[in-house]
Amino acid sequence: MKYLTVALAALALLTLSGCMVGPKYATPPVPISPIFKEPGPSTFKEMDGWKTAQPNDQALRGKWWELFGDAQLNALEDQIDVNNQTLKQAEANFREARAAIRVSRSSQVPTITTGPSVGTERVSANQPYFNSALANSGSGNLSLPFDLNYEVDLWGRVRRTVTASVEQAQASAADMETARLSLHAELAFDYFDMRSADTQEKLLDATTRAYQEALQLTQDRYEGGAAPMSDVTQARAQWQGAQVAMTDIRVQRAQYEHAIAVLTGKPPAALTLASVSFAEHPPKLPGIPGALPSQLLERRPDIAAAERRMAAANEQIGIAQAAFYPTLSFSAVAGFVGTSPLSWLTWPSRMWAVGPTLSQTLFDHGLRRANSDIARDAYDSTVAAYRQSALTAFQQVEDNLAALRELETEAQQQHGETLSAQQSLELFTTRYEGGVDTYLQVITWQTAALQNERNDIDILRRRLESEILLIKALGGGWDTSKLPQVETLRKPVS
């Protein structure tokens, strides 16, 4: 046994003294500015002219949808984390990635197996070329071996495999947060689209009634001989057109409600939401949360996932390079072997064997070189994906900052145009009733007034959507400090 103890001590020494081959990981620079190594702009281009609104970025660190001040939206959003099946799928993928860490870590310690066997054998006295005098009534063979196998991690292959598994699990955690953020944003998007449809429907309902009154007016004037039949047909077409538009809005509204049901983990038949217009419950516009381009890399879970996959790809280069070096493995077997149950587990029946094996590939026709090139090319691909994710994030922030700024101006302009159209409609309706103008002028300004009122609603919808998209583009209050740490990932999921 002293030889076995010495061998195990030597094994521990080799393990501790193992080196690491392959490149050391460092996060590559991102094109925040035209030259990657420059510090980049201190603020976003489209922030010019904006004053950071209150609440600021700190308000995003939680249930950011509460900034819109809508209790029904808040109740729906709370169901995402509990019931959404897409999020449950992402959570299962994360648990799978955590389990893969333990698979990789299993190679850091010896594998011990056992294969007990019990058997008897009788040699035939009539077999060819056999001395029948040696035949017996049979013999027993009882074995209880314990096998130990271990690959000494001289070049860091196992350690890099474990590290890569941890980084992949962190990437999976970031993927889960990306899915969570996208689902919450999608629900807010659909909810305000539904509220916009409710507002449009109420507007069209009121417009339809007004057009019906106008149709009755032209019918009365026609019957009194004060208007031609063409006025009646024009008024009827206008009324019917408003009805068609209202039916179309109802179709859209139903689709938004169905989408909300699925996002909250319910079949569409199980969810019915009351119609609430923007006029009945005006939504809040949260404003512009403060953020810097340099901070965005730490606040976007999709960028964090890309960075972690890049780190894992770097480990694969080291794993591929370790294949060029010899492999040292350690094997041992010990146990008991006997010919009868009585003597099987006695001390004289003990047996053991121990020894190292050093192996080196001498020729593989370029296989290791090809695998090394594959690992390097895969790493370059992840670097490009990481940088592209960052560029896309910058674009999304800039796009929505610009949209919010311009939509605020457009809302003011549209409000003025809507008032002018309503005044013109009232004026030409009075002139028509007085016989001064034809009904064509009334039709023209009815159409203009309705279109401008619908534009008012649509601009508010677009402003709300841009607010949601900006919050999503800024990461929704998430940051890389929320990634699970190595110690947490190595623990089994309870």
pLDDT tens across 447-486, in order? 999 999 999 999 999 999 999 999 999 998 888 889 988 8
**Are the CB atoms for 360 and 326 separated by under 8 Å?**
yes
Residue 33 above 90 pLDDT? Answer: no
CB 341: neighbour CB atoms within 10 A? 10
Closest by Cα among 417, 409, 407, 410 to 449: 417
Of 356 and 16, the one with more pLDDT: 356
pLDDT category at 85 given cuts 50, 70, 90 is very high
Identify the pLDDT of residue 296. 81
Identify the pLDDT of residue 54. 45
* Amino acid found at 164: A
Residue 12 above 70 pLDDT? Answer: no
pLDDT tens digits along 327-368: 999 999 999 998 888 888 888 888 999 999 999 999 999 999
Identify the pLDDT of residue 412. 94
Residue 40 above 60 pLDDT? Answer: no
As a whole number of Å, the end-to-end CA separation of the chain is 40
Residue 164 in tokens: 């890569």
Closest by Cα among 32, 65, 51 to 404: 51
Identify the pLDDT of residue 119. 82
> How is 226-250 classified by DSSP, letter by letter?
SS-HHHHHHHHHHHHHHHHHHHHHH
d(C-alpha 181, C-alpha 465), whole Å: 15
Global confidence as pTM: 0.86
**Are the CB atoms for 80 and 296 separated by under 8 Å?**
no
Query: What is the residue-averaged pLDDT of the chain?
Result: 87
Instruction: Catalogue all structural domains in the chain, each as residue range(s) with its CATH number.
Output: 21-109+154-326+367-489 (1.20.1600.10)
Helix/strand/coil for 41? coil
Residue 123 in tokens: 């040699």
d(C-alpha 74, C-alpha 86), whole Å: 19
